[in-house]
Amino acid sequence: MGEDPPGSGWVRVADTVPPAGGVVESSIERHDRIDDLVVWTTASGVPCVSEARCPHQWSHLAYEGTVDGEELVCMTHFWRFGVDGEGWKQNVNGRRDRKGDLEVLPCVEYDGGIWVDSTD
């Protein structure tokens, strides 16, 4: 959340910063393709940008996702993803098993929006 504008290769993917616990849909053109993204903010206010599809059954996290504390949760089968993209499934007894991960893009908050590095 720096004060300096992002450098070359950074693109704006959200015109507003989602409120804490908020999730919005976005996309970016990279390497001659369009990537669906989800922009979300943790309960503590950390902005995150990741690929939009849950690796389990491809649910779109802008519509089937919700934020629970510091994690994005796919409500289709309750897979959970941290700000680092690591995926987990938590059972009813609280045990957490590793699952598939999400690609997370470096992002910054600037000028009222969210920006990502499109050069990766």
Q: What is the pLDDT of residues 7-55, one digit of tens each?
A: 778 888 888 878 777 777 676 666 666 688 999 999 999 999 999 999 9
Set out the domains of the chain in order of their start, with CATH numbers.
10-111 (2.102.10.10)
- Strands 47-51, 33-41: pairing is antiparallel
Q: Which pLDDT band holds residue 2 (cuts at 50, 70, 90)? A: very low
Q: Which pLDDT band holds residue 4 (cuts at 50, 70, 90)? A: low
Digit-coded pLDDT (tens) for 77-106: 999 999 999 999 988 898 999 999 999 999
Q: Which pLDDT band holds residue 5 (cuts at 50, 70, 90)? A: low
The backbone torsions φ and ψ at residue 55, rounded to the nearest 5 degrees and listed phi first, read: -70, -10
Predicted TM-score of the model (pTM):
0.83
Distances (CA, A) of 70 to 10, 28, 44, 65, 83: 25, 24, 7, 13, 7
